[in-house]
Every structure is written in C-alpha cells, then in structure tokens.
Amino acid sequence: MSSPETIEQEQAVIQTSPNIEFWKQVGFVTGATLISITMLATSVMTGGLFGLAIRFGNLPQLKQIQNFVPAETTYIYDIKGKLLAGIHGEANRKIVPLDQISPNLKRAVLASEDNYFYNHQGIDPGGIGRAAVVNWAAGAVQEGGSTITMQLAKNIFLSRERALTRKIAEAILAIRLEQIFRKDQILEMYLNQVYWGHNNYGVETAAQSYFDKSAKNLTLGESAMMAALIQAPEQFSPFVNKNLAIQKQRQVLRRMLELKWITKQEYDNALKQEIKLGKIKSFEASIFPNVTNPVAQELIQRFGRDATVKGGMRVQTTVASDLQIMAEETIKKWHKTFKNQGLKNNQMALVAIDPRTHFVKALVGGVDSKKSEFNRVTQAQRQPGSAFKPFVYYTAFASGKFTPSTTVLDTPVTYPDVMDGSYSPRNYDNTFRGAMSIRTALALSRNVPAVKIGKTVGINKIIATCRLLGIMSPMEAVTSLPLGAIGVTPLELTSAYATFASYGWRSPPTLIARVSDSSGNVLLDNTPKPQLVLDPWASASIIDVMRSAVNKGTGRGAALNRPVAGKTGTTSSEKDIWFIGTVPQLTTAIWVGRDDNKQLAYGATGGGMVTPIWRDFMNKALKDVPVENFKPPSAFTRPQQIKNIKKTH
C-alpha cells in the first residue's frame, strides 16, 4: 500500500473534484435542478438500499468479502530469476500494491471512472443524478452512475446481466465494501481486478502488454490511454485501432485538465508523447517448454490445477538459462547433422544435473517441443544397455569382495533360464578375450564379465542398489539384467550417475528449487538435503573405473581437457544409444533413438555417435568452470573385505 504521505498528497489533488458550482458554471443544469436530483437520488439510494438489503440476503457476506482472493497468474523463473513462462486460466493477472502503480494512472482512472471516489461512501447519488441529466440531454447513454466501488463489487461478485436488481445489488455490496476496506485498499483492489483487454486482468499485466513496462513506470500519456480502455477494452485497444485509442486518450486527458488534476503544460506534453506499444503477452509461449511443461505438471500434482492456474505462485526452477540454451542448440545441431547423414526419424534427449545438489541444470526432452510435447527425459523408459553396468560393478565393490583390479574371465558361459531353458551371454563383437580386470571389462564394455559378476553378487542386490539410487522403473531379477535389459528414464539414469559423482550422497533430482505465493510465503523448499545412500569407497571406485572407460575405452570420444568419468550404452539392434558422463560439477546424459523403437542405423553405438554430442555440449557448458579432480578411492575407507579378494570369476 502507499505511504500515508503519498496518499495524502494524491487525495489533495483528487479532492479538487467538481462541486455544484462547477456543474452550474459549465452550464449542464441549474443549481436548483441538480440539488433536487441529488436529494432525490440520495433518499432513494441510501435510505432505500438498507431496506432492500433484507431482500438480497443471498449476497456475499462480510467474511466472504474479507477473504476474497482474485485469480492470479503463476510465474515460472530460472535459477537466477529470469521469467520463463506464466501459467493462468482466463485471468492473466499479477497483483501489485498501490504504491507500485503510477500516480498518473491512478488519477487518470479516477478522472475517467469516478472523480468523487474519495468523497462518497460507495454510491454517489449526485453522480447518478449528473449522469441522468447528461444522458437525458444527449438522448443516449454517455455517462454511467456506477462508482469504482460499485464496479469492483460487480467484477468480483456479480454477473454481467443488465438488470435493475443487479444495480441494486451493486450498490448494497459497494456500501459493504466501503465499511470493510479503506479507500486506498478499494482502489488497489479495483486496479488489480479490472479487465484491460486481451486477457489482461489487473494493471500490471496490462502495462506489460501494452507498453512493455511495469505499471509503476507509466507516463501520463500511457496512463490516459490505459484508463480509456476500461469502458470497452478490446474496442479501444491500440492493438486493434490505434487512432481510436488516441482519441479516447485525449478525452481522458481533457477530463483531467478540466478537473485541474494536471496543468496545461502536462496536458500538451502528454499529447505530444510518442506511444510505443509492446505486444500481447497473455498467451505468449514459454521460453523453455521442455522445462516449464514438466514443472507445471508437478505443480498440478502437488497443489492442484486451480492453485496452479489461479494461485499466483512464484516458481524458481533449478535450470540455468545459459546451459538450457546450449543444450537446446546442441540437440538441434546434431539432429540436423544426423538427418543430413541419412539417419531419419531420430529423436534425442539431454539432461544435465549438478551432482552436488541434484538440481537439474538443463533438460531437452526431444528435438522439437513444438511438434511433440512428449518429454523423453522424464517420460520415456528406454533400455540403457551397457550404461547399466556401473550399477553391477558398484554392487560388487560395495560387497567388499571385489576391487577394480579383481580378475574376471571373459569366457563362454551358460545359465539356466526359466523362459528359454538356458541363457548364454555374448559380447558385442561376438568374441571372448579371456582373463581381464574389472577395470578393463568395464572400459571395453564386455558383456560376459558383467553377467558373471552380476550372478556372483546377486541380481536382487543389484536391483536394491538401483532403488537406493532412485531408479524406480520396473525390474525383473533375470540373468540378463546386468546388460540393461530394462526400461529407465534418462532422468533416473543421470541422477544415479550424479550420486556416484558425489561419492554416495544423494538428494532427489528436481526441476523446482522453491515455490512461494505472491506474498512471498514459501510453499515448497527443495533446498538439497543430501543423504548418504551408497558406500563412498565403492562410489569413488566406480568413478575411477569409468574414468578408464573415457581415457582408453569405449568412451574415448568424450574426453575433455579435464577428468571425466562416464559410460557408453548400446542396446541390441541399435535401438538405443547413450553416453552418460560426469565431471565433479556436472553430470550429463544424452540418449539417441526412435520413438517407434526401430533400429537407428546398422553399427550405431554410443561410443561412436553420442560421445561427440556430449563433448560438444560439455565443452561449452564448462567453459568458465574450474577444472576439478575426482577424489581417489584411497580417500575413503574400504568396505570390510573377505578372504580371496583376488579370486578369479
């Protein structure tokens, strides 16, 4: 609300409203006629209304009026406060206090709609009398008798029907409003409630649309043009008919001059001012629909649809706009590259998470959100292939029975299988390489060693590891599970790798940092509260092994001028190809595939096709990020070991 000093100054100007002498001087009516009309209107409207109020017992009562909360737009911002999108129903509204509205606009509206506002008690019998005389003299309705308080009552609580009963109800409610609220509160409510055209409700969204500025910065010329809109917003809109809008603006300015609320110099300057229009923003598309669509879905799930589209929430996302732009540009660039190479109908997804907070920093759910709103990061369950193997080897390390140097045999093996009678895992190249370390087996993405270690540590224990990491997609305890024969979302997979990069500390991955209401009260606070869910030594060990995969294994295409740990993923028949990689400050996954689940291309692999995309994005994303080293496994206490740790499997 405005300060008392500001209100007193404004009232001093506003209370110079025309009196009876003014009306006599301008020659509309004689003083006696006006006094008679005023007295008649006063007797009817004040004495009669209190009696009529008994017959309108179904009108909103005191508590309902006091507790009224107008619908307000929910705004979504990036991590630094950049506006990404507004979510609203019919009413696109942002409520602002009276002291954040230009005095020019307040006076222009009062001059146009109710210049006796600070003198009456909700109804203005004299105003009704004056309107009757003006309309009678003109032979048409040129002036209304409704006060701002009556208009507010109508806008909030009543229908739009034109009927005597509604006008009476307006007057009764106006008197109630004046009994409950101060004049400044009523004016603030009115300016935030009134419809200004093009789905703009309230002065702030209207000012942003019409003039691309806040309501507090409106000039006198802009204020007069906006005030003129109230009578017929779409008809008088400068977006529809600028010449008519200027004509109506001049009428408001003349009225302000007649009331002596502005000087002749101010009047002349306002007429000369060039009006620069903004653009209609009520249905403006989101800057990053890949981000704001899933955020809106989460808000609806948590708070309900009405609260989301009408509740005026302020939502701070975790996304960094610069990274999001880089991510979207990277996906578009490589999609075009693959298309030019003959790889048709491919889809791609990218998600980047800060492993220190598990905040999602960038998210791209597909190559074109305008053609498809399906978000492949959060909604698509795709097979991870060999990108699942780190979960197998982590489980082995955490058991205390294995280290990265433990020997495993890459040799033929057959297991009983409930479905097919037997299962014999094969490597991607259909060869066997004999004895090797776990480090080498993961770096070269050998399948047979992963299945052998998985069977040894127990498939159910691997599933338990995945659950600790937040992977909740369905899994069956089948022998082939270590090769990624399940469906997971890219978000689940990336969050799990981020937990490895934080040495076992995990917070739920989130796109929302904080939600508050329009008054600043916090509704949801996702400040990270990490929990240690994994063994730190085993986590550091799997990171160390995945560094070998990048330095001299299938992930060599992802190498940067800094320590990188990661793993490629390629499923059978080349339907899904991946690379998930991490540095200490950022974990990023990229998936490429087809929505129809058909083969991408013969010989397509994560190592060959996805690592260059990952490297392209990360080089840009880490441009100004200092180089950090991962902590070695020796920095942590090894899990309790058992004998024969070097045993060959």
10-residue mean pLDDT profile of the chain (649 residues): values are 42 43 37 42 48 51 68 94 90 92 96 91 71 58 72 75 65 84 93 91 93 96 95 92 94 95 95 91 84 94 92 96 97 94 91 98 93 91 96 97 96 82 90 97 97 96 97 93 94 98 97 94 96 97 98 97 97 92 98 92 92 98 96 92 50
Domain-terminating residue out of 272, 302, 334: 272
Residues 218 and 305 in one domain: no
Please indicate, yes or no, if residue 534 is contained in any of the structural domains. Answer: yes
Helix axes 164-180, 148-157, angle to 10 degrees: 110
**CATH code of residue 384:** 3.40.710.10
What is the rounded (10 degree) CA torsion for 234, 239, 243, 247?
50
Residues 140 and 220 in one domain: yes
b/e sequence 624-647, b meaning 16+ C-beta within 10 Å: eeeeeebeebeebebbeeeeeeee
Give the up-direction half-sphere exposure of residue 570: CA atoms within 13 A in the CB hemisphere. Answer: 25
Active-site annotation holder among 113, 222, 492, 574: 113
As a whole number of angstroms, the distance between CA 330 and CA 322 comes to: 12
Helix axes 183-193, 148-157, angle to 10 degrees: 50
Residues 172 and 259 in one domain: yes
**DSSP letters for 224-286:** HHHHHHTTSTTTT-TTT-HHHHHHHHHHHHHHHHHTTSS-HHHHHHHHHPPP------TTPPP
Q: How crowded is residue 196: how many other Cβ atoms within 10 Å of its Cβ? A: 25
Residues 257 and 406 in one domain: no
Please indicate, yes or no, if residue 333 is contained in any of the structural domains. Answer: yes
Residues 101 and 235 in one domain: yes
Distances, alpha carbon 302 to alpha carbons 137, 274, 298, 299, 316, in Å: 59, 47, 6, 5, 15
Domain-terminating residue out of 272, 306, 334: 272
Residues 495 and 418 in one domain: yes
Specify the DSSP element, H or E, that contains 524: strand 522-525
Residue 113 appears among annotated catalytic residues:
yes
As a whole number of angstroms, the distance between CA 347 and CA 379 comes to: 14
Amino acid symbol at 516: S
**Residue 174 tokens, joined:** 């106006």
Q: How crowded is residue 39: how many other Cβ atoms within 10 Å of its Cβ? A: 13
Residue 574 appears among annotated catalytic residues:
no
Contacts of residues 430-438 at CB distance under 8 Å and 24 or more positions apart, as own/partner, are: 434/409, 434/410, 435/407, 435/408, 435/409, 435/410, 435/648, 436/407, 436/408, 436/410, 437/404, 437/405, 437/406, 437/407, 437/408, 438/393, 438/396, 438/402, 438/403, 438/404, 438/405, 438/406, 438/408, 438/545
Domain-terminating residue out of 272, 301, 334: 272
**DSSP letters for 436-464:** EEHHHHHHTT-HHHHHHHHHHH-HHHHHH
Residues 250 and 353 in one domain: no
Distances, alpha carbon 111 to alpha carbons 2, 257, 292, 640, in Å: 19, 9, 41, 82
How far is C-alpha 193 from the geometric centre of its chain's CA atoms? 24
Angle made by CA atoms 74, 78, 81, in degrees to the nearest 5: 80
pLDDT above 90 as % of the chain: 69
**CATH code of residue 236:** 1.10.3810.10
Residues 485 and 499 in one domain: yes
Among candidates 578, 590, 611, 608, which has minimal Cα distance to 389?
578
pLDDT in tens, 524-537: 999 999 999 999 99
Among candidates 298, 273, 262, 290, which has minimal Cα distance to 373?
290
Residues 170 and 298 in one domain: no
Contact 186, 177 (CB under 8 A): yes
Please indicate, yes or no, if residue 336 is contained in any of the structural domains. Answer: yes
Please indicate, yes or no, if residue 65 is contained in any of the structural domains. Answer: no
Give the up-direction half-sphere exposure of residue 463: CA atoms within 13 A in the CB hemisphere. Answer: 16
Please indicate, yes or no, if residue 218 is contained in any of the structural domains. Answer: yes
Please indicate, yes or no, if residue 641 is contained in any of the structural domains. Answer: no
Residues 546 and 436 in one domain: yes
Contact 529, 557 (CB under 8 A): no
As a whole number of angstroms, the distance between CA 89 and CA 83 comes to: 18
**DSSP letters for 538-558:** HHHHHHHHHHHHHHHSTTGGG
Residues 32 and 74 in one domain: no
**DSSP letters for 301-328:** HHH-HHHHHHB--EEEES--HHHHHHHH
Please indicate, yes or no, if residue 643 is contained in any of the structural domains. Answer: no
Please indicate, yes or no, if residue 640 is contained in any of the structural domains. Answer: no
Contact 117, 124 (CB under 8 A): no
Angle made by CA atoms 230, 231, 232, in degrees to the nearest 5: 95
Among candidates 426, 586, 441, 418, which has minimal Cα distance to 502?
586
In the three-class reduction of DSSP (H, G, I as helix; E, B as strand; rest coil), residue 50 is classed as helix
Residues 189 and 121 in one domain: yes
As a whole number of angstroms, the distance between CA 140 and CA 129 comes to: 15
Active-site annotation holder among 17, 386, 445, 502: 386
As a whole number of angstroms, the distance between CA 5 and CA 11 comes to: 10
Count the domains in the chain: 3
Residue 144: predicted pLDDT? 57
Exposed/middle/buried for residue 310 (C-beta within 10 Å: 0-12, 13-18, 19+): buried
Domain encompassing residue 130: 4-58+90-272
As a whole number of angstroms, the distance between CA 491 and CA 268 comes to: 61
As a whole number of angstroms, the distance between CA 30 and CA 53 comes to: 34
Q: Is 464 left (phi over 0), alpha (psi -120 to 50) or beta?
A: alpha
